[in-house]
Amino acid sequence: MISNSRLPALAAIPVLFIGIALLSPVDAGDIKPLKTVVIKATTGLCKRGETCHKDRAGSWTPKIPIAVLGVSVAEQADIDLYTDVEVSTRPEMYQCAGDDSAGCIFRAKYAGPGLFDYGAASGSTYIGSNITTTSMTFPSGYGIMVPAGEPIYVHLDVRNGSLIDLKVDQDAWIYYVPVD
């Protein structure tokens, strides 16, 4: 005899089997190749307490027309940094506003986990890792079109609130497909 407490769990078993039966395996011929490029960008040395702005901190130029399907930017700061990062075909940062958004691909802001120094002149703001990733993908069938030969830039605006001078590097992963 089955107790009443087990009936709900047993009743779900046929639904689970029906759900699995409806899933069909993906045929390798149905998968389209997705390409990836990593744009490495840097502000160079950013002295403590300064804001370091660099248009075209990194770039990549596709040789063929592409459709950008997604972007991933990993926060790589373990100390007190505020970072504004923009990926676009525009040669300068902060040109993506209003109705003219052509060439604007991605923008993210983040702050590292460091302690605020409140005017401290010594010590360390390091409190541990806070690596996060900011990602964006477009709905199926959509992408940002980039013609062959048009550079994609990573622009950086970094505020170094730590107590040390830093070389600030930032990677941006671009996921794309060739366009015929």
Give the pLDDT confidence of 126-145 residue by residue, as tens digits: 444 455 668 888 888 899 99
Q: Say whether pLDDT at 35 is over 90.
A: yes
Supply 23's token pair.
């899933």
> Across the chain, what does the average pLDDT equal?
78
The pLDDT confidence band at residue 10, using thresholds 50, 70 and 90, is very low
Neighbours of 63 (CB within 10 A): 8
- Classify domain 32-178 at the CATH topology level: Jelly Rolls (2.60.120)
d(CA 86, CA 89): 10
**pLDDT per position as a tens digit, 103-128:** 899 888 877 655 544 455 555 544 44
Of the chain, the percentage scoring pLDDT greater than 90 comes to 38
Region 154-180: mean pLDDT is 89
pLDDT of residue 24: 54
Q: Of 31 and 171, which is predicted with more confidence?
A: 171
User: pTM (2 decimals)?
Assistant: 0.73
Of the chain, the percentage scoring pLDDT greater than 70 comes to 68
pLDDT of residue 16: 45
Q: Say whether pLDDT at 86 is over 80.
A: yes
Q: Of 81 and 56, which is predicted with more confidence?
A: 56
Specify the range with the lowest mean pLDDT, choosing from 6-15, 26-35, 60-69, 149-158.
Answer: 6-15
Cα→Cα distances 40→48, 50, 56, 166, 169, Å = 22, 22, 11, 16, 7
Supply 163's token pair.
């107590």
Identity at 57, one-letter amino acid code: A
The pLDDT confidence band at residue 83, using thresholds 50, 70 and 90, is confident
List residues bridging with 60 in a β-sheet.
152
